[in-house]
Amino acid sequence: MEADFVIVGAGSAGCAMAYRLAEAGVSVLVIEHGGTDAGPFIQMPAALSYPMNMRRYDWGYQSEPEPHLNNRRLAVPRGKVIGGSSSINGMVYVRGHARDFDHWRDQGADGWAYADVLPYFRRMEHSHGGQAGWRGTDGPLHVTRGPRKNPLFHAFVEAGRQAGYGVTDDYNGERQEGFGPMEQTVFRGRRWSAANAYLKPALKRPNCSLIRAFARRIVIDQGRAVGVEVTRGGRTDVIRARREVVLAASSINSPKLLMLSGIGPAAHLREHGIDVVADRRGVGANLQDHLELYIQMAASQPVSLFKYWNLWGKALVGAQWLFTGTGLGASNQFESAGFIRSRAGIDYPDIQFHFLPIAVRYDGKVAAEGHGFQAHVGPMRSLSRGAVMLRSADPAADPLIRFNYMSDPQDWWEFRQCIRLTREIFAQEAFKPFVKHEIQPGAAMQTDADLDDFIREHAESAYHPCGTCKMGRADDPEAVVDPQARVIGVQGLRVADSSIFPRITNGNLNAPSIMVGEKVSDHLLGRDPLPADNHRPWIHPDWQTVQR
C-alpha cells in the first residue's frame, strides 16, 4: 500500500509512466477502477464499436444538453479498464501536427515544442512502414497499416489527388497534409493498447503493482500530496506515495479528482463544502473536443463491408480472427486518411478525414441503404470551450460535463466547409464506378441553413476530450500544471494525460497522450529530457494564398 510513485489511472499515459518508472528501478503502484481487457470485444480490432458501448469497460458519461446541438446529450466514453481509452478507442494513430506542439510552447508550455516531443514519439514507437528518420523502430508501441485490399481505400486517396490535394505516405512523418494510408495501434491482428504495449511488461517487474480500487481524492498534508484515498472491497484505504502522486485519470476524471481534493476554482469548491487547498480557476476549464459528421454515400456495386453486416458474416469474420488472427477482424477498417486546410491563409491542416468502406455509425447502426461508404470529417481546432465541474462532493457522482460545442460562429463556417469539400472529393472521377447517390446529408441539403440543421442534428463527438488541467507557466492564472506537469500550488502532485494539453492537437489523441506519459516519466525521475531534434516539417509553400 506504499510506493515511491502512485499513479491514478492505467490509461494511455499511466501505462507508459508505469513502464518507464519500473524500468528505472523505482517502485510504482497503479490504481485502476476498471478490470481486465481479456476477451475478443477489446482485443479484436474490427469489434471496436462494442467496448465503447459496454458499461463494463466504459465510465458511461454523458454531456449536459448541448444548446447549439438541439439540446442533445452526447456520449462521452472513457475507458474503465486496463489500458484506459486505448482499450476502447478506434485505434487510429495520429501524433498531431508539428505546429500543434510549437503552439503549446508559445502558450507557455516551455520544453514541449515539436523539436522537444519528436524524440519521445520516436522512443515510444515501433513503426511498421513509417518514414525513416522521423519514426521510431524499437519502442513498445507497435504502429501498423491496414492491408487496404478494398478498392474504396485507393479510390479515396486518388479522389483527393484528383481534387488537387497532395498525397502523403506518412502523415506522422515529415508531411501531414494530404491523402494517404491511415495508421493503427494494431499488432499481429490484435489491438495494441497501452496495456499490451506498456502495462503488462511493467507488471512483470517486481517493483510495479496494479491495485483495483476507486480513487476518491488525493490526500494532502501541509500542502504536499502524500497519497490517494481509495475504496476497494467496501472499505476505504489510503495508498501512500513516498515521492509523488501522479494523476493520469483522463481529461474528465483528473480535474474531478483535483476538485474533490480541494484544488480548483475556490467558489465552486465552497459551493460543495470542499475546503480549498489551492485556488486554481483553470481546473476543469478549457475543455475541448473534436466533433465530426459522417458523409455517407450509397454504393453502386457490392464492394463495401455491408455483406458481412449480418449474424453469419460477423461469425465468419470473428471465427477467422479467433483462429488465425487475420482477415477483416484484424483491422479497425480505418485504412485511408486525409488532412487538408479549409482555406488559404491557414498554415497547416484544420480538417481531418477518416475513410470507412461501409456506411455505419459508431454505435453499430448501419445505413438502411445497404452497400455504402463514408468519410468521417470535422474541424480540428474549434474555438469553442467547455468545462468539467463537480455535480456534488460525493466521489461516486458523475461529473458535470459541458462542451459548449458550436458556440463560436467560426465553427459553423468550418463545418459547412467540411461538408462541401467532402462532397467535392466524392464527386471526383475515382469514385465514379462506386457512387450511387448521397445518403447523408442528402443531395437536397445545399444551403447554409440546410447544412446547419444537419450539423445540429447529426454532429457527433470524435471522443477526443482534453485541456481541462492546462499546462502553462506558473504565473498563468489559467494554468493548472507547470511545464514539468507539477500541479501549481501543491507539492508532490502531477497530472499527466490529455487534460494537460493547452490546445487540442490535430487528429486522434491517443498518440500524444502516450507521449505525455513518456515525457513526464523523465521529469518524475529528474532526468534531463531527450535532446531536441530539429527535423523541419513540411508546410505548404503557398499556404498564404491557396487552399490546396
Print pLDDT tens along the chain (548 aa). Answer: 999 999 999 999 999 999 999 999 999 999 999 999 998 999 999 999 899 889 999 999 999 999 999 999 999 999 999 999 999 999 999 999 999 999 999 999 999 999 999 999 999 999 999 999 999 999 999 999 999 999 999 999 999 999 999 999 999 999 999 999 999 999 999 999 999 999 999 999 999 999 999 999 999 999 999 999 999 999 999 999 999 999 999 999 999 999 999 999 999 999 999 999 999 999 999 999 999 999 999 999 999 999 998 899 999 999 999 999 999 999 999 999 999 999 999 999 999 999 999 998 766 677 768 999 999 999 999 999 999 999 999 999 999 999 999 999 999 999 999 999 999 999 999 999 999 999 999 999 999 999 999 999 999 999 999 999 999 999 999 999 999 999 999 999 999 999 999 999 999 999 999 999 999 999 999 999 999 998 999 999 999 999 99
Q: What pLDDT sits at residue 415?
A: 98
512/506 Cα distance (integer angstroms): 10
- Determine the Cα–Cα distance for residues 206 and 485; give it in Å rounded to an integer: 27
**Do 297 and 354 belong together in one domain?**
yes
The three three-digit cell numbers of residue 366, written as one number: 448501419
CA distance linking residue 496 with residue 243, whole number of Å: 16
- Flag whether 532 is in a domain: no
Q: Are residues 360 and 267 in the same domain?
A: no
Residue 57 and residue 135 in one domain: yes
Residues 227 and 196 in one domain: yes
Element (H, E) at 43: helix 40-43
161 and 176 assigned to the same domain: yes
For 325, the domain range is: 147-181+291-379+407-458
> Whole-angstrom Cα distance, residue 363 to residue 359?
12
Report how far residue 64's alpha carbon sits from residue 87's, in angstroms, rounded to the nearest whole number: 25
Question: Are residues 295 and 358 located together in one domain of the fold?
Answer: yes
Same domain, 188 and 175: no
Catalytic site includes residue 464: yes
**Count of C-beta atoms within a 10 Å radius of residue 531:** 8
- 441 within some domain: yes
Cis peptide before 441 (omega within 30 of 0): yes
Which 8-state DSSP code applies to residue 429? G
Same domain, 251 and 106: yes
Are 312 and 371 part of one and the same domain? yes
Do 174 and 323 lie in a common domain? yes
Q: Cβ distance 120 to 322 under 8 Å?
A: no
pLDDT at 362: 66
Query: Is 244 inside a domain boundary?
Result: yes
Q: How many helices (H) and strands (E) does the chain have?
A: 13, 25
Quote the pLDDT of residue 258: 98
Residue whose C-alpha is closest to residue 86's, from 124, 136, 128: 124
If DSSP states are collapsed to H, E and C, what string results for 452-511?
A: HHHHHHHCEECCCCECCCCECCCCCCCCCECCCCEECCCECEEECCHHHCCCCCCCCCHH
Strand pairing of 235-247 and 263-264?
Answer: unpaired
Q: Please, what is the Cα angle at 30 between 234 and 388, to 5 degrees?
A: 80
**Which residues have C-beta within 8 Å of that of residue 411, sequence separation ≥ 6?**
379, 382, 383, 384, 405
Is the same domain home to 277 and 296? no
**Considering 33, 97, 376, 464, which one is annotated as catalytic?**
464
Q: Is residue 394 part of a domain?
A: no
